Amino acid sequence: MHFSVMQLALILGIIILLFGTKKLRNVGSDVGGAIRNFRSAMKEGQGEATEESSDEDKIIESESVKPTAEPYKFKKKENTK
């Protein structure tokens, strides 16, 4: 379904009459702020995801390295009676 320019202008005129320009301006600024917040949250989430992946790489590397020192072995106490 294709809308002509006249039909879109008529719909826009009806919306302006119903809601008024001030309310439409407020709605527009609210939508713009929501989009900005969403984008900044997405960027922040991507930064955290790269930090987590680098931490996981470090853990995997440290698990593959064998310890250089031997673990402590407990000695049994002898009874001296």
Query: What pLDDT, on a 0 to 100 scale, did the predictor assign at position 75?
Result: 73
Q: Is residue 66 part of a domain?
A: no
Residue 31: domain span: 21-61
- Split into its structural domains, the chain has a count of 1
At residue 71 the predicted structure's pLDDT band, cuts being 50, 70 and 90, is low
Q: Is residue 34 part of a domain?
A: yes
- The pTM of the full predicted model, rounded to 2 decimals, is 0.42
Task: Report which residue type is found at 2.
Answer: H
Q: What is the largest CA-CA distance in the chain?
A: 109
Whole-angstrom distance, CA of residue 21 vs CA of residue 26: 9
Q: Is residue 43 part of a domain?
A: yes
Window from 4-8, 38-42, 48-52, 64-68 with minimum mean pLDDT:
64-68
Mean pLDDT of the chain: 78
Query: What pLDDT, on a 0 to 100 scale, did the predictor assign at position 57?
Result: 53
At 29-57, the pLDDT tens digits run: 999 999 999 999 988 887 776 666 555 55
